[in-house]
């Protein structure tokens, strides 16, 4: 897995009281949920490297329907899932612990996007079976920030987004921190932490971002699958829709063997996945040579290869049903791999392919980065897209309205 360089963000914001500035110029809470001071110096976002990406899952879990998830198909005809989400959808990732907290309830006025994936839920430490936002914020309080009007919270912003017809999915895992499934010692403990997050935010959709060494950690892989199956049984007993996606790293040639095993483990444990979302980013020159102008093509190669891999896992599904279980999540603009830049033209190519094939999910890392930088960069900032000439919400403009 590639690791992002610790570099300053293109734009800076003053930290609020009781906030600390990390090495990338991002403010975080100075006290963690465990009460100790901690500043994140790692790359908190999706990070695929030589194959660390994917998120998606399928089925109407309130009924445990094992057929295809609701889909707009390949004709652009919009459908609606049992929880009110579009049958196929765009939900860019939000780095929920980045400062300032993204105002998801207000930015749809600017960018037209009304569904988001909030990231990431991890354990407060490697040995604490206690869910948190990036190890910085408790589940009960959530991230918050300050502006000229005072303090505001992520949860208030989620409420405002829902009031206007939007919604959020929450992602567990990511490139930094310890997954809940690794920190907790039993399936029941893991389920309890999942339920805590779901009930706090009244979620109908969750995502599991599994990357890096966790792809091959058999204990946490099995515990996760068992826990999600139990969670879906609980949701069904409560009459609650619960859609589950897995997010995994990918190469233009498809998932690695470890990542295929992660998906197979979930299926074998009885998890009903809405689909598999892959991180179409940071491939490396060895597997994606001369990437300039080809990042859209490499991303399409990756999901076409994934389509074949999922056909082996779900052999009874049709071509269109398989496409509805596939997601793609590029890293917009400058990737961690310095030679890779996902341009607006690559986004347009991706959108066209998704429209034509009924791809189940489009994400991107991240909405925080959908802004121009003060100077052109060859490293991935957490707050801008790497270019001075690619303006605010350039990528949101391409993907907004997908499936609606």
Give the residue numbers marked as catalytic: 211
CA angle 367, 289, 93 (to 5 degrees): 15
| Spatial separation of the C-alpha atoms in residues 44 and 54, rounded to whole Å | 15
216: region left, alpha or beta (phi > 0 left; psi from -120 to 50 alpha): alpha
Report whether 65 contacts 85 (CB < 8 A): no
Backbone angles phi, psi at 193, to 5 degrees: -70, -40
The three-state (H, E, C) secondary structure of the chain, written as one string: CCCCCCCCCCCCCCCCCCEEECCCCCEEECCCCCCCCCCCCCCCCCCCCCCCCCEECCCCCCCCCCCCCCCCCCCCCCCECCCCCECCEECCEEECCCCCCCCCCCCHHHHCCCEEEEEEEEEEECCEEEEEECCCEECCCCCEEEECCEEEEHHHHHHHHHHCCCEEEEEEECCCCCCHHHHCCCHHHHHHHHHHHHHHHCCCEEEEECCHHHHHCHHHHHHHHHHHHHHHHHHHHHCCCCEEEEEEECECCECCHHHHHHHHHHHHCCCCCCEEEEEECCCCCCCCCCCCCCHHHHHHHHHHHHHHHHHHHCCCCCHHHHHCCEEEEEECEECCCCCCEECHHHHHHHHHHHHHHCCCEECCECHHHCCCCCCCCCCCCCCCCCCCCCCCCHHHHHHCCCCC
Cα distances (Å, whole numbers) of residue 336 to 4, 329, 333, 368: 5, 14, 10, 15
| Spatial separation of the C-alpha atoms in residues 340 and 356, rounded to whole Å | 25
| Spatial separation of the C-alpha atoms in residues 19 and 148, rounded to whole Å | 16
């Amino acid at each position: 897995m590639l690791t992002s360089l610790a570099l300053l963000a293109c734009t800076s914001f003053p930290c609020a009281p009781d906030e600390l500035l990390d090495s990338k110029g991002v403010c975080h809470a100075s006290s963690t949920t465990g009460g100790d001071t901690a500043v994140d110096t790692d790359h908190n976002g999706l990070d695929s490297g030589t194959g660390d990406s994917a998120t998606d899952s399928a089925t109407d879990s309130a009924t445990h329907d094992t057929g295809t998830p609701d889909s707009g198909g390949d004709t652009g005809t919009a459908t609606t899932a049992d929880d009110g989400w579009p049958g196929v959808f765009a939900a860019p990732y939000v780095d929920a612990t980045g400062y300032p907290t993204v105002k998801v309830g207000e930015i749809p006025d600017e960018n037209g996007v009304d569904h988001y994936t909030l990231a990431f839920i991890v354990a407060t430490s490697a040995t604490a079976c206690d869910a948190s936002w990036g190890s910085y914020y408790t589940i009960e309080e959530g991230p918050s920030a300050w502006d000229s009007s005072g303090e505001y919270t992520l949860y208030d912003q989620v409420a405002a987004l829902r009031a206007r017809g939007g919604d959020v999915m929450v992602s567990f895992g990511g490139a930094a921190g310890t997954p809940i499934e690794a920190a907790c010692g039993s399936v029941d403990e893991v389920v309890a932490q999942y339920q805590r997050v779901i009930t706090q935010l009244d979620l109908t959709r969750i995502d599991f971002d599994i990357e890096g060494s966790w792809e091959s950690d058999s204990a946490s892989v099995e515990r996760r699958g068992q826990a999600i199956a139990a969670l879906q049984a609980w949701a069904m007993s409560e009459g609650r829709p619960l859609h589950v996606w897995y997010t995994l790293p990918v190469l233009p040639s498809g998932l690695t063997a470890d990542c295929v095993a992660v998906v197979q483990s979930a299926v074998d444990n009885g998890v009903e996945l809405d689909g598999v979302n892959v991180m179409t980013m940071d491939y490396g020159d060895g597997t994606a040579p001369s990437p300039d102008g080809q990042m859209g093509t490499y991303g399409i190669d990756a999901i076409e290869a994934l389509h074949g891999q999922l056909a082996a896992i779900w052999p009874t599904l049709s071509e269109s049903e398989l496409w509805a279980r596939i997601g793609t999540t590029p890293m917009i603009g400058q990737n961690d791999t310095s030679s890779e830049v996902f341009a607006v033209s690559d986004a347009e190519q991706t959108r066209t392919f998704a429209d034509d094939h009924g791809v189940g999910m489009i994400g991107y890392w991240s909405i925080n980065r959908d802004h121009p930088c003060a100077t052109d960069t060859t490293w991935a900032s957490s707050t801008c897209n790497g270019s001075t000439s690619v303006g605010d919400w350039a990528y949101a403009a391409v993907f907004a309205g997908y499936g609606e």
